[in-house]
Amino acid sequence: MKNKFAKHLALGASALLIGGSAFAQVKIAYIDPLSGPFANVGEAGLKGFKEAAEVLVNQKGGIMGQKLEFTGFDNKGSPQETQIQLKAAIDQGFRFVTLGNGSGAAHSLIDAVNKWNARNPDKTVLFFNYAAVDPTLTNEKCSFWHFRFDANTEMKMEAISNFMEKDKKIKKVFIIGQDYAHGHQVAKYTKEMLAKKRKDIKIVGEDLHPIGRVKDFAPYIAKIKASGADTVVTGNWGNDLSLLIKAAKDAGLKARFFTYYAGGLGTPQAMGAAGENLVLQLTEWHMNVPTVSTEKFALDFNKKYPGVWFYYLRVNNMVQMVAQAMNTAKSTDPKAVALALEDMRFKVDTGEVWMRKSDHQAMQPLYISIFSKADGKTVKHDSEGTGYGWKTLATISQRDSQLPTSCIMERP
When binding is defined by CB under 8 A, the residue of 78, 162, 392, 402 that contacts another protein is 78
Neighbours of 357 (CB within 10 A): 13
Number of residues that bind another protein (CB under 8 A): 92
When binding is defined by CB under 8 A, the residue of 24, 64, 203, 208 that contacts another protein is 208
Q: Which stretch binds another protein (CB under 8 A): 181-189, 294-302, 348-356, 398-406?
A: 181-189
What minimum distance in Å lies between the beta carbon of 191 and another protein?
Answer: 15
What minimum distance in Å lies between the beta carbon of 249 and another protein?
Answer: 9
Contact at 8 Å (CB) between 374 and 297? no
User: Which long-range contacts does 83-91 make (Cβ < 8 Å, 24+ apart)?
Assistant: 83/108, 83/109, 83/112, 85/29, 85/31, 86/29, 86/31, 86/112, 86/113, 86/116, 86/125, 88/13, 88/16, 89/29, 89/31, 90/116, 90/123, 90/125, 91/13, 91/17
Q: Is 330 helix (H, G, I), strand (E, B) or coil?
A: coil
Which lies closer to another protein via its Cβ, residue 124 or residue 398?
Answer: 124
∠ CA 42-216-174, nearest 5°, is 85
Which lies closer to another protein via its Cβ, residue 108 or residue 398?
Answer: 108
When binding is defined by CB under 8 A, the residue of 64, 66, 180, 329 that contacts another protein is 180
Those residues whose C-beta lies under 8 Å from the C-beta of residue 226, and which sit 6 or more positions away, are none
Give Cα 201 to chain centroid, integer Å. 29
Position 10 contacts another protein (CB under 8 A): yes
Q: Where are the beta strands (DSSP E) in 48-190?
A: 68-74, 96-99, 126-129, 146-148, 172-178
Position 191 contacts another protein (CB under 8 A): no
**Exposed/middle/buried for residue 230 (C-beta within 10 Å: 0-12, 13-18, 19+):** middle
What minimum distance in Å lies between the beta carbon of 354 and another protein?
Answer: 26
When binding is defined by CB under 8 A, the residue of 134, 150, 154, 158 that contacts another protein is 134
What minimum distance in Å lies between the beta carbon of 67 and another protein?
Answer: 15
What minimum distance in Å lies between the beta carbon of 132 and another protein?
Answer: 10
Q: Which stretch binds another protein (CB under 8 A): 111-119, 229-237, 347-355, 369-377?
A: 111-119
Position 100 contacts another protein (CB under 8 A): no
What minimum distance in Å lies between the beta carbon of 348 and another protein?
Answer: 26
Residues 220-279 that bind another protein (CB under 8 A): 220, 222-223, 225-226, 239, 242-243, 246, 250-252, 265-266, 269-270, 272
Residues 269-288 that bind another protein (CB under 8 A): 269-270, 272
What minimum distance in Å lies between the beta carbon of 293 and another protein?
Answer: 23
Q: Which stretch binds another protein (CB under 8 A): 60-68, 108-116, 332-340, 347-355?
A: 108-116
C-alpha torsion 208→211→216→219, nearest 10? -10
Residues 23-42 that bind another protein (CB under 8 A): 34-37, 39-40, 42
Which lies closer to another protein via its Cβ, residue 22 or residue 292?
Answer: 22
When binding is defined by CB under 8 A, the residue of 119, 199, 303, 347 that contacts another protein is 119
Neighbours of 154 (CB within 10 A): 23
When binding is defined by CB under 8 A, the residue of 81, 276, 349, 352 that contacts another protein is 81
Contact at 8 Å (CB) between 142 and 407? yes
When binding is defined by CB under 8 A, the residue of 93, 212, 290, 412 that contacts another protein is 212
Whose CA is closest to 28, among 72, 60, 65?
A: 72
Q: How far is CA 178 from CA 137, 209, 214, 225, in A?
A: 20, 5, 10, 19
